[in-house]
Amino acid sequence: MSSSADRVNSIQELVDIPVNVSVTSDPILRTEHLSRVVKEKVLVEDATFEVRTGEVLAIVGPSGSGKSSLLRLLNRLDEPTSGTVYVEGIDYRQIAPRELRRKLGLVNQRPYLFPGTVEQNLRFGPLQRGETLSQDAIERLLSRVGLKGYAGRNVANLSGGEAQRVSVARTLANSPLVLLLDEPTSALDETSKREVESAIQRIVREQGLTCILVTHDTAQAARLAERALVLEAGRVLRHGPISEVLHA
Amino acid sequence: MLKLFFSNQLYLVLTQALVAALAAMVVVMLARKRGIHLESETLVAMLRGIIQITAVGSILLLLLRAPRWTSALLLAGMIVAAGATSARRAKGMPGAFRVSAWSIAFGSGSVIALMTWLGVIDTAITSLVPVGSMLITNAMNTNGLALNRFRSDVLAHVGEIETALALGAEAKNSVSPYVQASFEASLIPAIDSIRSLGIVWIPGLMAGMLLSGARPVYAAIYQFVVLAMIFAASGLTSLVSTLLIRDGIFTTAQQLSLQPGR
């Protein structure tokens, strides 16, 4: 069993930036015939796709097409009615839900920050596993989302864009394998949207983190992602390189 | 004034009931003018209430000669009925009846058993059943308030709860603020009852004891005893029910199953 000092060190290593991790051909996440039907309403139907290590995949489609439902299935906040997800080749039903959710970190459309300071929010995830983030790690996470020096601020005094970036940093504090972003800028004004986008770009570029971005904004998808998956009425309509998919 | 018109006791009591019911219906009509419709629910509740309490009064008359163990049977029946009544306040929550019945049984049952064993509650049916029913009724109300508050709080904070889950929190930790708030809110009536005892409120039991010739100090202290027992029974019930229902709103994969519109 590792000591708490070891665990603190492992967090420090994980939040250190491994620069320019390239996209590999190994799928870090693969869905197989993933479906969810609630009261005879099809939310997601037979979704089969894979995400490779280090890539950004955009899930695009009109409102109500099942984008957020699909992301909830990946984080296992909802249960598939059929099909499954493989994370690093392991059926995700064999992974403890709490560990799975740490590995596939979800950032919601609304940030839902817990009352208190920015620092307390960042500490939340690691604390659930009995781990403590050091002050250095907190500052590194905040500087990655462009909020250096915000640790002691009360979350009640943050703007929408700042709150969303804290939400991203809070998820990153869990050192996820894949970052799931559910319309992270849809509730923001244009300036805040650019700030959040640039924070995401910085994280992806510097850390080489695998991302799945749900967005209804195809221009944003083109700016941030290499590949896209188009959903319509819960079904995968097209799937491939962003330029081909969006201009098809 | 009614006594001037009715010399027959039965007619007098029935008229008193009718006048009290009319007063309640006036309030219902006033509410109706403000667009709040309570007519059918209130009418049915009052009819049920008068039939049930008259039936129980008649049964109690019969029970005066019944063996003592029958009071346990009666109290068990009351607990089941109380469970069904307060479960209605937790619409859509899985296992609400089971949780309510077990919580009320544990909360009021353990206080009744302990206090009867200690001799605080007399074992005679005429004492055990009415005092026991007071504890069960209050436990039922507290349980209903706790479940209702918990349900509203969870439905209003689905985003926060799922955010905590998504960050790797244990299901029970993700709803702990709402468990605590529900427990505290459910005990407000019981605490206020004790706080206002004798100043705002002279309870029926004490009034009854005074009318039957008991010394005021004894009647007052016994009323406090009953209210303290009510608090203990209600608190235990709420504690158990909020913990049991907390686990019931999550699936085995720690997914929140209580969702708006589901």
User: Is there a single domain that holds both residue B44 and residue B165?
Assistant: no
Residues B45 and B170 in one domain: no
pLDDT for position A10 = 41
Whether residue A82 is predicted with pLDDT greater than 60 in this model: the reply is yes
pLDDT at A227: 93
Q: How many CB pairs under 8 A join A and B?
A: 57
Strands A104-107 and A178-182: parallel
Statement to judge: residues B150 and B162 lie in one domain? yes
**Residues of A in Cβ contact (< 8 Å) with B166:** 75, 77, 101, 105-106, 108, 171
Structural domain count, chain B = 2
Residues B53 and B164 in one domain: no
Residue of A nearest to B163 (CA): A112
Residues of A in contact with B168 (CB under 8 A): 98-99, 101-102, 125, 128-129, 174
Q: Are residues B122 and B135 located together in one domain of the fold?
A: yes
Domain that holds residue B35: 1-65
Whole-number pLDDT of residue B260: 83
Q: How far is the CA of B76 from the CAs of B69, B95, B106, B132, B233, in angstroms?
A: 11, 19, 11, 10, 15
The tens digit of pLDDT for each residue in A127-168 reads 999 999 999 999 999 998 989 999 999 999 999 999 999 999
- Identify whether B137 is part of a domain: yes
User: Do B135 and B181 share a structural domain?
Assistant: yes
The reply to whether B23 falls in a domain is yes
Q: Do residues B82 and B188 both lie within one domain?
A: yes
Task: List chain A domain ranges.
Answer: 4-15+24-246
Q: H-type helices in chain A, by residue range?
A: 4-15, 67-74, 97-103, 118-128, 135-144, 160-172, 190-207, 218-224, 242-246
Phi and psi torsions of B183, nearest 5°: -60, -45
| Domain end among B48, B65, B82 | B65
Mean confidence (pLDDT) of chain A: 87
Residues B114-124 have pLDDT tens digits of 999 998 888 88
Same domain, B166 and B59: no
Helices (H) and strands (E) in chain B, counts: 12, 0
Does domain A4-15+24-246 fall under CATH 1.10.645.10? My reply is no
Domain end residue (candidates: B24, B47, B65): B65
CA distance A106 to A114: 15
Note whether B18 and B135 are same-domain residues.
Answer: no
Q: Does B254 fall in a domain? A: no
Length of chain B: 262
Residues B215 and B143 in one domain: yes
User: pLDDT tens digit string along A3-35?
Assistant: 444 444 444 444 444 444 455 567 899 999 999
The pLDDT of residue A7: 42
- Residues B58 and B168 placed together within one structural domain of the fold: no
**Positions of chain B with pLDDT lower than 70, given as ranges:** 200-203, 205-206, 262
ipTM of the complex in this document: 0.86
